[in-house]
Amino acid sequence: MDKYRVPNRMNLLRAREYGLENSFVHIEQTRRIADFTLCKYRSLTPFHHSSICTMCLEQSECRYLLSGDASGHICCHDMFPSSLVATHPVIFRIDRNSNRDHHTHKVCSLIWYPNDNGLFITLGLDKKLKIWDTNRVKMADEYEFGNFAYSAHMAQTSNTSLVAVAHENGDLRLIDIRTGSNSHIIHSHNGKGICLVKWFNNNPNLLASGGADGRVLFTDIRSSRTYYMILDPDNVSTDNPQVKPRTTTASTSSVAHTRGIKSLEFLPDNSHLLTLGADSHMYLWNVNSGQRLLVNYGRMPTDNVRIKTLACTQMKHDRTKSLVYVPCGKSICAYDILSGERLTTLSGHLVSVSTCIYNRLSIELYSCSDDILVWAAIKKQQENYELSIKTQERRPETTRSLAQILNRDQWSDDDDEV
């Protein structure tokens, strides 16, 4: 926790006066990410009637928040004025009253197009993947599958048009939204299915997939092999150089987690991966070598949420200052990624939390269970605001009683005379 505290504000100011310290902004940001509180006076216009499964924040402006719920309704909130008191309006909604092409089942994945916010992609449990035009709120394209799909992801690098879809029978389907082809299938996992798929942050050709049997595979879509690396918690191949690269069939059965994968998240520095499994462990991996870094986060109680989304933050100037927000039951735990220390616990939800999203521009955290809450480092402002409300409430009472005013005036007169 000390890592995230401000060293000494007076010294810092003095150093800045002499031009010694130019990381003032960074220090303030670091303090803020470890000090989130619930924003009581910010609310989102309520729309969803069932529990919210997934959310996605658009990355170009960090402004529009898509959320999809268990009955297939999708809506978009404008999160922009991040002031102390705000009600965020609904920009558009997709439900059975307003749109013919709505999802009929639970929404599994929502993806914003990484380059701009004119397009987004939704995946539902009705075995359909739909591509939407944001400005007209109209469906542009639709893909229907023969199997359930649990997760979809689009590469975050520019000029890609590939969407990866994880199927319940272990197939990994690649969809090129430019040409509309959806026939490329990679049989990487066995019949138990894939839970999650994620593209690498910095490479449009590599993707990581987590299976229901606990295996995590890295696949290169250009090569004909099904995968090029499998994560192994014992670090067999990475620690012992005498063991040859895994080509034998026997060694391919190593599992990263003993039960299914619940979350895969690449850190912003592109060289680490966090995986959360249903065996209530979270592991940190080096992406380049496939080595498990020995960080012990302790037990994480997992519940029956199928896919959890973690929110990772990392300070650009100092890579060691990185935090992850993990949904643990009804609360959200913040862990320091590299030391595994638990810093804070945010509690405010009434049912189990499924998704956390970090807004890097306004330094806020959004989390959803049956409603969406906003967390930010505004403890002091909020207290001041509460105080000001209380004093405002008191003022009319004092004006009402005439005698008091008269008395007060007399007192003040007396004071003046003295």
Partner 1 sequence: MKRSYSFLNSNSKKRTKTIDDSTKKSSLTLNSLQFFFVESKNLFINYLHMPPIIFKHQLYSLTSKNCTLIDRELQEMFNQNQIRLFHSDLGIILMFTNDYQLLVEQQLNENNLSSLSIEKNRLKQRLTQDLLPNNKRLSIDKNSLENGFDLNTNDIHLLIQLGLLLPKQIDQYWFSIPNLASFVTCIEKGRRTLIQILSRRTYREIPMNEFRLRDTKTKCLLGFDYHIHDVIGANLAHVIDAPTGPIVKMGPEKV
Give the contact letters, 341-380, x = binds to partner 1 (CB under 8 A), - = no. xx--x-x---------------------------------
153-182 binders of partner 1 (CB under 8 A): none
Region of 64-72, 120-128, 141-149, 294-302 interacting with partner 1 (CB under 8 A): 294-302
Output the smallest distance, CB 32 to partner 1, in A.
22
Give the contact letters, 248-277, x = binds to partner 1 (CB under 8 A), - = no. x-xx-x------------------------
376 and 365 Cβ atoms separated by less than 8 Å: yes
Output the smallest distance, CB 339 to partner 1, in A.
6
3-state DSSP percent of the chain in helix, strand and coil, to 5: 15, 40, 45
Asked if 192 is part of the footprint of partner 1 (rule: CB under 8 A), the reply reads no
Asked if 303 is part of the footprint of partner 1 (rule: CB under 8 A), the reply reads no
Rg over alpha carbons for the chain, rounded to the nearest Å, is 25
Laid out side by side, the sheet with 272-277 consists of 261-266, 272-277, 282-286, 292-293
152 and 129 Cβ atoms separated by less than 8 Å: yes
Output the smallest distance, CB 288 to partner 1, in A.
20
171, β-bridge pairs? 187
Asked if 334 is part of the footprint of partner 1 (rule: CB under 8 A), the reply reads no
Q: Which of 113, 108, 111, 134 is nearest to 52 (CA)?
A: 108
Give the contact letters, 36-55, x = binds to partner 1 (CB under 8 A), - = no. --------------------
Indicate the Cα dihedral angle 409, 411, 414, 418, nearest 10°.
Answer: -130
- Kindly tell me which of 198 and 215 has the beta carbon lying closer to partner 1: 215
Give the contact letters, 216-245, x = binds to partner 1 (CB under 8 A), - = no. ------------------xxx--xx-xx--
* 3-class secondary structure, 222: coil
Asked if 17 is part of the footprint of partner 1 (rule: CB under 8 A), the reply reads no
Laid out side by side, the sheet with 37-38 consists of 37-38, 372-376, 364-368, 355-359
The CA distance from 151 to 357, in Å, is 17
Region of 4-12, 77-85, 198-206, 324-332 interacting with partner 1 (CB under 8 A): 324-332
Asked if 291 is part of the footprint of partner 1 (rule: CB under 8 A), the reply reads no
With vertex at residue 91, the alpha carbon angle to CA 88 and CA 92, rounded to the nearest 5 degrees, is: 135
Q: Which two tokens stand for residue 376?
A: 């930010």
The CA distance from 155 to 164, in Å, is 9
404, β-bridge pairs? none
Output the smallest distance, CB 327 to partner 1, in A.
11
Region of 41-49, 164-172, 326-334, 365-373 interacting with partner 1 (CB under 8 A): 326-334
348 and 336 Cβ atoms separated by less than 8 Å: no
Q: How many residues bind partner 1 (CB under 8 A)?
A: 28
- Kindly tell me which of 204 and 340 has the beta carbon lying closer to partner 1: 340
Asked if 10 is part of the footprint of partner 1 (rule: CB under 8 A), the reply reads no
- Kindly tell me which of 205 and 238 has the beta carbon lying closer to partner 1: 238
Neighbours of 49 (CB within 10 A): 11
Output the smallest distance, CB 25 to partner 1, in A.
30
- Kindly tell me which of 76 and 273 has the beta carbon lying closer to partner 1: 273
Where b means 16+ CB within 10 Å and e means fewer, 127-149 reads bbbbbbebeebebeeebebeebb
Region of 52-60, 92-100, 288-296, 397-405 interacting with partner 1 (CB under 8 A): 288-296
- Kindly tell me which of 223 and 339 has the beta carbon lying closer to partner 1: 339
352 and 369 Cβ atoms separated by less than 8 Å: yes
Asked if 13 is part of the footprint of partner 1 (rule: CB under 8 A), the reply reads no
Output the smallest distance, CB 26 to partner 1, in A.
25
Provide the strand spans (E) within 348-403.
355-359, 364-368, 372-376
Asked if 387 is part of the footprint of partner 1 (rule: CB under 8 A), the reply reads no
Provide the strand spans (E) within 304-400.
311-314, 322-328, 331-336, 342-347, 355-359, 364-368, 372-376
Which of 8, 320, 339, 404 contacts partner 1 by CB under 8 A? 339
The CA distance from 5 to 1, in Å, is 7
Chain residues that interact with partner 1, rule: CB under 8 A: 234-236, 239-240, 242-243, 248, 250-251, 253, 294-299, 301, 328-329, 331, 333, 339-342, 345, 347
